[in-house]
Structure 1
Amino acid sequence: MPQQLIFEDHYKRLGLEIFSEENLENIHGNQFRSDIKVFFFPPGYELTIDFNHYITQKPSLFFLTNQHLSIQKGKEKSVLLYYNRDFYCIQIHDKEVACDGLLFHNVFEIPFVELEDTETKLIQDLFQNIKDELEWKEASAEEMIRTYVKQIIIRATRKWKRQNLDNDLIKIPGSELDIFRDFSRFLEIHFREKHNVADYAELLHIAPKTLTHRFKSLHLDSPNQFIINRILLEAKRLLFYTDKPVKEIAYDLGYEDPAYFNRLFTNKTGSTPANFKKNYISGKKYNI
């Protein structure tokens, strides 16, 4: 059985579990689905997040909310830290840690950071501190644990920026970062009912042409493409992980005309929703 430690106080909940090769199957399912999750994986883990596959080459932290996770392989101990929004809400405390739209809910679907040796030691020490507090159960444990959680998130956010910004894939200078974070956050909240660039430009208090130009000037996909990608990702989740019929999925995603949704999905993926549900096997594989 995994080692499990939990803090609960009224609506607030945080837990820490340690896994290894013998009990990885316990991570599967919906047990942690509603929680914010931070995973530490050593090298050699194979995992699938939604429809992308990863193989860890270095110690890595993964940051998940509603994504579907399955682990195919892993030997050394991994750690799962999970907590609900009542314990620590990343949206409410965004000014403290500035992680929403980067570690969580980023439009580039890069939910991880790789760690060097010194960084790995620091992160492992923070996990150990949380574990100690959960075991000791002191009166001040909640605030101490929260400070350690914030340190993990802040360190990982800094690492995410160094790892991903202004490289060959994403070229966003620091001065431009907030608009992309805000776009990511609004998209995650509203993608079911807001399908147009103008909707998000209004939320960002800029003109639609300005928003599109910002993306184009940095050689990124258009805002419209990011909106479509997010809708398609949710459609794939619902098709693959639920038994909902295509018509109901279309309604769930804000399309009053299921036939239009069917054409959109087919045009963008090369497969009808029904065929995707029937034939999907695997997605992209990343060695990280």
Structure 2
Amino acid sequence: MLKEFSYKQFGNLSFSQQCLDESTLIKIDDHIKVLFLPKETKVHVDFQEFQIETDCLLFINPKVIVKPVTGFGGEVLLHFNRDFYCIEIHDQEVACDGILYNNVFEIPFIKLDESQSADIQNIINEIKSEMEDEDSNTEEMLRILLKLIILKSTRIWKQQHLLAEKDQQSDVQFLRKFSKLVEQHYKTHHTVADYAEMLFITPKNLGKKIGMVSKDTPNDIIKNRIILESKRLLAHTALTVKEIAFSLNYDDDAYFIRFFTKNTGISPLSFRKQF
């Protein structure tokens, strides 16, 4: 079901293989998404398949390609455009540029215990009920319920990463800022020194701070983001390898081919053939 309030759009749909077809996902390709997944389901995110061991939430930016693999009918996808939510929110932590939607450290699965899962499912059921109404307050109620899910999930993420204390809020904001900078500049800035300079710290201190939430180094994170974009362009566009290299600020496509092959174990053209 999809509701429109002027240019603002919000919808929910079942995310099981039985109920979802390719055209449905294409129609909401530019929407920001929240996906509830029950345990024991499988999902394909970009170029990885995940077995879900416990109920969880996944926060998905428009560029991310996500598809169901297996499911039991309890999967729910909430989707909305930026006009519906993001421009209304001034609290960075729960906005669309918060840590859940700009997370280069990991794919942002929020694992839920039984109590947390029941809480989130209750909110989702309220959303479904609200979608059936034509009340004058429906738009604002949907926005409040969506914000509640994002707020609760942000709190859980911080607890799971041991960053929930008040004196650690500056660390959370730093990680969010680094993540956002990588997302904004990975095409043009490829070195740790570039990002350390933008953050006004040394590369060594940047590595220490990133170590709070990731086993990967800042260099690994930057490389992985470039590789992910390369895979997306190879799999989902008709751009040549040379054009892809140029779009990622590699003037020498031979260097880009060596970089991609070294980090994936397969050449760009061989990867494209797989898709």
Q: Is 2:125 the counterpart of 1:125?
A: no
Shift of 1:231: 0.3
Is this contact kept in 1: 2:14–2:73, CA < 8 A?
A: no
Instruction: Quote the Cα distance in structure 2 between the aligned partners of 1:93 and 1:216.
Output: 28
> Alignment partner of 1:39: what SS?
strand
Report the equivalent of 2:255.
260
Instruction: Quote the Cα distance in structure 2 between the aligned partners of 1:75 and 1:88.
Output: 30
Report the equivalent of 2:235.
240
Tell me which moved more, 234-243 or 90-99: 90-99
Shift of 1:163: 2.7
> Alignment partner of 2:174: what SS?
helix
Structure 2: which 5+ residue stretches go unaligned? none
1:157 to 148, 154, 159: 154
Is this contact kept in 2: 1:37–1:80, CA < 8 A?
A: yes
1:136 to 133, 157, 161: 133
Is this contact kept in 1: 2:46–2:65, CA < 8 A?
A: yes
Report the equivalent of 1:275.
270
> Alignment partner of 2:132: what SS?
helix
Q: Deviations over 1:134-169 (max 9, x none)?
A: 221211211111111110001111112223447xxx
Q: Is 2:114 the counterpart of 1:112?
A: no
Is this contact kept in 2: 1:13–1:83, CA < 8 A?
A: yes
Report the equivalent of 2:43.
47
Report the equivalent of 2:79.
82
Report the equivalent of 1:71.
68
Instruction: Quote the Cα distance in structure 1 between the aligned partners of 2:235 and 2:74.
Output: 29
Report the equivalent of 2:13.
17
Q: Deviations over 1:193-225 (max 9, x none)?
A: 222223322332334443245446888433222
Aligned positions, number? 270
Q: Is 2:254 the counterpart of 1:251?
A: no
What is the one-letter code of the residue matched to 1:62? L
Instruction: Quote the Cα distance in structure 1 between the aligned partners of 2:271 and 2:201.
Output: 37
Shift of 1:98: 6.5
Report the equivalent of 2:222.
227
Structure 1: which 5+ residue stretches go unaligned? 167-172, 281-288
Structure with more relative contact order (C-alpha pairs < 8 Å, separation 6 or more): 1
1:148 to 139, 145, 150: 145
Shift of 1:261: 1.1
Is this contact kept in 1: 2:36–2:56, CA < 8 A?
A: yes
Report the equivalent of 1:283.
none
> Alignment partner of 1:38: what SS?
strand
Q: Deviations over 1:65-93 (max 9, x none)?
A: 12111211112322110011111118953
What is the TM-score when the length of structure 2 is the normalising length? 0.87
What is the one-letter code of the residue matched to 1:140? N
Is this contact kept in 1: 2:16–2:68, CA < 8 A?
A: no
Instruction: Quote the Cα distance in structure 2 between the aligned partners of 1:247 and 1:120.
Output: 46
Instruction: Quote the Cα distance in structure 1 between the aligned partners of 2:40 and 2:46.
Output: 19
Report the equivalent of 2:175.
180
> Alignment partner of 1:22: what SS?
coil
Report the equivalent of 1:102.
99
Is this contact kept in 2: 1:45–1:55, CA < 8 A?
A: yes
Q: Deviations over 1:47-79 (max 9, x none)?
A: 110122112222211111121112111123221
Q: Deviations over 1:216-259 (max 9, x none)?
A: 68884332221111001111111122232111111221222212
> Alignment partner of 1:103: what SS?
coil
Is this contact kept in 1: 2:92–2:98, CA < 8 A?
A: no
Shift of 1:122: 1.4
Instruction: Quote the Cα distance in structure 1 between the aligned partners of 2:211 and 2:14.
Output: 44
Identity across the alignment (%) = 43
Compute the RMSD of aligned alpha carbons. 2.6
